[in-house]
Amino acid sequence: MSKPKVIVVGGGFSGCAAAVAAAKAGASVQLLERTDMLGGAGLRAGRMNYNGKFVAAEECKAMGAGEIFEALENIVLHRANIVDEENVYIYNVGKLDMTLQRVLQKWGVQYRLVSRIVGVKKKDNRIEAVTLNNKEKIEGDVFLDCTGSFGGIDNCVRFGKGCVMCIHRCPIFGNRVSIATKAGAQEIPHLRPDGTPGRLSPSITVFKESLSPELQRRVEKEGAFSIKLPREMIDYNKETSLFPGIRGEHQIEHINLVNIGLVVKCPAIGYFHLEDWRKIPGFENVLVEHPMGGAIFNFVNHTATSPRDNTMVVRGFTNLFEGGEKSGNGGIAECAATGSLAGFNAVRVAAGLQPVQLPGTTALGYFIATVGNAIDTPHGLETGHSLGHRECFEEIKKMGLYSREAKTVWKRIEKEGLINFLAQKLV
Ligand SMILES: Cc1cc2nc3c(=O)[nH]c(=O)nc-3n(C[C@H](O)[C@H](O)[C@H](O)COP(=O)(O)OP(=O)(O)OC[C@H]3O[C@@H](n4cnc5c(N)ncnc54)[C@H](O)[C@@H]3O)c2cc1C
């Protein structure tokens, strides 16, 4: 049998993980990325493995889909604890693009940068080809939509305050385009409590040199730490209306500072007016790096989930899978894991096998099913779902699935009979 051809659209964590999983399973894989770098939102993420995300990463590794996590561990700058985030590994975002390019090269994935897909050719419920903006047609046997969920300028204008010049760089590379949506799949946004579609991107990064010498020294030495906000600057209302269900009160009351290499990240504050920020000791000269409009507002994401089943196949299609934010979840571990499962199942389908889901007795199986149910439930996407915080993290603890010991997680996966399950050569 000749190798099936798998086409992955999007080169963030989900697309890269999907491409590697499909290549390992024996497919010929081509990945197309709209911008000039791999990494997507991960280019300004940086924090991994905290709380339940550690379990997701170890489950993936045990199941034979650990390449992205292992690559990130090689560029870790610090391990630290910050408010509500236990044992964060912080990778150097400046090294992410080339790190991911080397992973794809190692697994023989052909990838093309500055290659934005704008159209789809389909027959009934099968995708036959995708088209680039130069009209070139790329045919394949199975397709993966790993295009993320960030606004595109149009959505940032409609549901935010306009283009804030973020890392996605739509003005030069063009808006995000989902192939599932192009093919006619339903597209559902996450909703804020007031009904507005889309969430606000959670974080801002600032230039290190714009912090006081003392904050610079601490961030280089400690990697991450938290500063309690002056009482008058704490805005519970902003947080609950823009980032529903993700952050706890304790986090809202602090600014976390995280050294992600090129810049310092302040996770999960969404936006913070420069004038106010400069009143806080140590931030008198602070300058925002990402997004450029961060002090006024942030970009909008979680605008584009398509219904799927727990094997990651897009509902209504036989050869179209999705992973990452496109499939309803967010976070490095969550996106890489769903990408890996989607890539593996894509090759199963190409090989004439049924796609599989992960058992609900694993943290990932539980998480994928929970988010899948949320997509299908009215208002289900009003609260965020993450293995890092809140309900899903608490639930995996209750289920006895949380451990900070890699060995314990691996033993559990072994008992499930899933060691190297996602690393099988299928064709
Ligand atoms: C600022 C920020 C900070 C974050 N911090 C953290 C953190 O510290 N820890 C954590 O766990 N999570 C964090 N997250 C969440 C996490 O980074 C994301 O959920 C995850 O990286 C998304 O991966 P993805 O592959 O699903 O999507 P994306 O990263 O959005 O990747 C999608 C890719 O598809 C490409 N694309 C889109 N349309 C097309 C097309 N038509 N043709 C070709 N390519 C296309 C895009 O250019 C992009 O590269 C953060 C998110 C943001 C925005």
Q: Is the pLDDT of residue 182 over 80?
A: yes
Residue 322, classed as helix, strand or coil, is strand
Model confidence pLDDT, tens digit, residues 95-118 = 999 999 999 999 999 999 999 999
Token output for 75: 């560029």
The fold adopted by the segment(s) 5-80+88-195+301-423 is: FAD/NAD(P)-binding domain (3.50.50)
What does 50-71 look like in DSSP terms, one character per residue?
-THHHHHHHHHHHTT--HHHHH
Nearest CA to ligand 1 atom 6: 45
Q: Is the pLDDT of residue 244 over 70?
A: no
Nearest CA to ligand 1 atom 35: 10
Q: Mean pLDDT throughout 229-248?
A: 77
Q: Residue 246: pLDDT band by 50, 70, 90 thresholds?
A: low
Tell me which of 60-64, 217-221, 382-386 is least confident.
Answer: 382-386
Are 49 and 57 spatial neighbours (Cβ–Cβ below 8 Å)?
Answer: yes
Cα 214 to ligand 1 centre (Å):
32
Alpha helices in 118-255 (DSSP H): 153-159, 170-173, 179-182, 213-222, 236-242, 249-252
Nearest CA to ligand 1 atom 12: 331
Q: Is the pLDDT of residue 239 over 80?
A: no
* Ligand 1 atom closest to residue 14's alpha carbon, by position in its atom list: 25
* Ligand 1 atom closest to residue 118's alpha carbon, by position in its atom list: 41
Q: Residue 322: pLDDT band by 50, 70, 90 thresholds?
A: very high
Q: Which residues pair with 145 in a beta bridge?
A: 9, 322
- CA dihedral (337, 388, 384, 39) positive or negative: negative
Residue with tokens 């007016």: 273
Find the helix packing angle between 363-376 and 52-62, rounded to 10°: 110
Tell me which of 100-109, 164-173, 184-193 is least confident.
Answer: 184-193
Cα 284 to ligand 1 centre (Å):
31
> Omega of the bond prior to 291 within 30 degrees of 0, cis?
yes
Q: Residue 84: pLDDT band by 50, 70, 90 thresholds?
A: confident
Nearest CA to ligand 1 atom 38: 176
User: 234-247: string of b/e by CB count within 10 Å (b at 16+)?
Assistant: ebeeebbebbbbbb
Tell me which of 47-51, 157-161, 194-198, 288-292 is least confident.
Answer: 194-198
Residue 269 amino acid letter: I
Q: Which residues pair with 321 in a beta bridge?
A: 144, 313
Question: Torsion angle, CA of 355/361/363/369, rounded to 10 degrees?
Answer: 50
| Rounded-to-integer distance, Cα 371 and Cα 375, Å | 6
Are 294 and 271 spatial neighbours (Cβ–Cβ below 8 Å)?
Answer: yes
Residue 363 main-chain phi, psi, to 5 deg: -65, -40
* Ligand 1 atom closest to residue 115's alpha carbon, by position in its atom list: 43
Residue 317, classed as helix, strand or coil, is coil
Domains of the chain by residue range:
5-80+88-195+301-423, 200-299
Q: Which residues pair with 117 in a beta bridge?
A: 132
Residue 421 amino acid letter: F
Tell me which of 187-196, 232-241, 279-288, 338-347 is least confident.
Answer: 232-241
Cα 386 to ligand 1 centre (Å):
15
Cα 38 to ligand 1 centre (Å):
10
Cα 43 to ligand 1 centre (Å):
8
- CA dihedral (68, 328, 303, 245) positive or negative: negative
Residue 335 main-chain phi, psi, to 5 deg: -70, -40
Q: Residue 248: pLDDT band by 50, 70, 90 thresholds?
A: confident
* Ligand 1 atom closest to residue 329's alpha carbon, by position in its atom list: 19
Strands of 47-48's sheet in order across: 47-48, 85-91, 76-82
Q: Is the pLDDT of residue 124 over 90?
A: yes
Write down the pLDDT at residue 352: 97
Indicate the top mutation candidate among 205, 335, 371 to test ligand 1's pocket, ranked by most ligand atoms within 8 A of CB: 335
Cα 80 to ligand 1 centre (Å):
23
Q: Is the pLDDT of residue 245 over 60?
A: no
Write down the pLDDT at residue 381: 85
Mean pLDDT (the chain, rounded): 94
Cα 37 to ligand 1 centre (Å):
12
Q: Is the pLDDT of residue 5 over 90?
A: yes
Cα 59 to ligand 1 centre (Å):
21
Are 363 and 396 spatial neighbours (Cβ–Cβ below 8 Å)?
Answer: yes
What does 240-270 look like in DSSP terms, one character per residue?
HHHSTTT--HHHHTEEEEEE-SSSEEETT--
**Helix, strand, coil share of the chain (percent; to 5):** 35, 20, 45
Residue 183 main-chain phi, psi, to 5 deg: -85, 0
Contacts of 315 (CB under 8 A, 6+ apart): 185, 186, 306, 307, 308, 309
Alpha helices in 294-377 (DSSP H): 332-350, 363-376
Token output for 103: 């992973």
Greater pLDDT, 265 or 268: 265
Label residue 123 exposed, middle or buried (CB < 10 Å: 0-12, 13-18, 19+): exposed
Q: Which residues pair with 85 in a beta bridge?
A: 82
